[in-house]
Amino acid sequence: MLQLKNTFIGAFAILLAYYGGMFLSASLSLPIPGPLLGLVLLLSLLFVFPSIEKHTTLVAQPLLKHMSVLFVPAVLGVGIYWRDIEANALALFIAIGGTTALSLGLTAWVANKLMNKKTL
């Protein structure tokens, strides 16, 4: 019963931040996506009321853990763009395959240089 109540409080906090962010983005016609402002709102909420961390975790953890399933409808919609993908297959292959490996290496190298100084 308590678990249920806490889940409701957590869901309420997340929805409050979500709709707050949507409202801010729309009413001030900001170029920033509403859910992103919602993220910042929830982070502020957590800093002001650290006690709601427990409640939000109950809702956020399963959502974050299984977020892959939420992309299914969007990814299935990619069929319409198949021709674009095919026409640019080589460019996309290099852009996604090649540069990802390169960026990964460069980032790790930079981080390695910077972070080592901190530990010493």
Partner 1 sequence: MIDAILNTFTVSGITWLFVTLCCYAISVKVNLFFKGHPASHPLVITVSLVGLALLLSNMSVPQYQKSVSLLHWLLGPVTVALALPIFKQWQKLKHYGWRLFASIAAGGVLAPLLAWFTLYALDSPVALQLTILTKSITTPLAMEATAQIGGIPALAAVFVITTGIVGAVVSNAVFLCCRVTSPEAQGIALGTVAHAVGTAKAIHMGEEVTAMATLGLCINGLFTAFILPLVFSMGI
Residues 3-42 that bind partner 1 (CB under 8 A): 14-15, 17-18, 21-22, 31-36, 38-42
Q: Write out the E strands in 7-103.
A: none
In angstroms, give the least distance from the CB of 1 to partner 1: 24
By CB under 8 A, name the one of 1, 48, 91, 120 that touches partner 1: 91
- Site map (CB under 8 A) of partner 1, residues 54-73, x = contact: --xx-xxx-xx-xxxxxxxx
Q: What is the CA radius of gyration of the chain?
A: 21
In angstroms, give the least distance from the CB of 2 to partner 1: 20
Q: Which residue has the tokens 């892959």?
A: 68
Please identify, using beta-carbon distances, which residue of 1 and 68 lies nearer to partner 1: 68
- Our finding on whether 90 is near partner 1 (CB under 8 A) is yes
**Size (the chain), residues:** 120
Please report the DSSP string for 82-117 in residue order: HHHHHHTHHHHIIIIIIHHHHHHHHHHHHHHHHHHH
